Amino acid sequence: MTKVLMVCMGNICRSPMAEGMLRKALRDAGLDRNVEVDSAGTHAYHVGSAPDPRAQQAIRERGVDISHLRGRKVADADFERFDYILVMDGDNYDRLVERAPAQHHGKIRRLLSFSRKYPNLDVVDPYYGGAHGFEENLDMIEDAVQGLIREITGENRVKMRPGG
């Protein structure tokens, strides 16, 4: 079983939306029994809190319910437990690389490193903005989730021609 952890700062906006979108995409692809998904934050600001109501509303409009999720902080055991630790932005990437044992650094990547449309950009925190920011986040997350699934299932592996 492949294990994926989505990470943002407070675990009430971006990472729960990413968790929800990945769960939906896995279900749609018939892979939900093969991949475990969770989310967490680098800070303990919202431990035990439900996702931001704006995040819940935006993702609900895409057919996903994340109201049951609760915020938690990344635990030291997560570095060992998860195969992919996918962060929403450079700040959270830096925080986790600084904190993680060196042998787990390769697991920590930006979620958008899997995106075709938004490669290696940040999923900007929408917390202090309006509802539109949540929609933009979901567009980015949806694209990246599809790329992640391609990697997990091996569809990204392409045979190279000699010299190519």
On whether residue 81 sits in a domain, the answer given is yes
Please give the pLDDT value at position 14. 98
On whether residue 37 sits in a domain, the answer given is yes
With cut-offs at 50, 70 and 90, classify the pLDDT of residue 120: confident
On whether residue 52 sits in a domain, the answer given is yes
On whether residue 135 sits in a domain, the answer given is yes
On whether residue 158 sits in a domain, the answer given is no
Please give the pLDDT value at position 156. 58
3-state secondary structure of 7: strand
On whether residue 162 sits in a domain, the answer given is no
Q: Are 107 and 85 in contact (CB under 8 A)?
A: yes
Tens-digit pLDDT profile for residues 48-106? 999 999 999 999 999 999 999 999 999 999 999 999 999 999 999 999 999 999 999 99
Residues classed as catalytic: 8, 14, 125
Task: Kindly tell me if the per-residue pLDDT of 163 is higher than 50.
Answer: no
Q: Are 15 and 137 in contact (CB under 8 A)?
A: no
CA distance 108 to 85: 5
The number of folded domains in the chain is 1
Place of tokens 């994926």: 4
On whether residue 164 sits in a domain, the answer given is no
On whether residue 142 sits in a domain, the answer given is yes
Q: Which residues span the domain enclosing 30? A: 2-153
Tens-digit pLDDT profile for residues 144-160? 999 999 999 997 544 33
Please give the pLDDT value at position 155. 77
Q: Are 157 and 121 in contact (CB under 8 A)?
A: no
Q: Among 90, 80, 86, 79, which Cα is nearest to 114's?
A: 86
Residue type, 74: V
Mean pLDDT (whole number) for 2-8: 98
Task: Kindly report the CATH number assigned to the domain that includes residue 94.
Answer: 3.40.50.2300
Tens-digit pLDDT profile for residues 39-50? 999 999 999 999
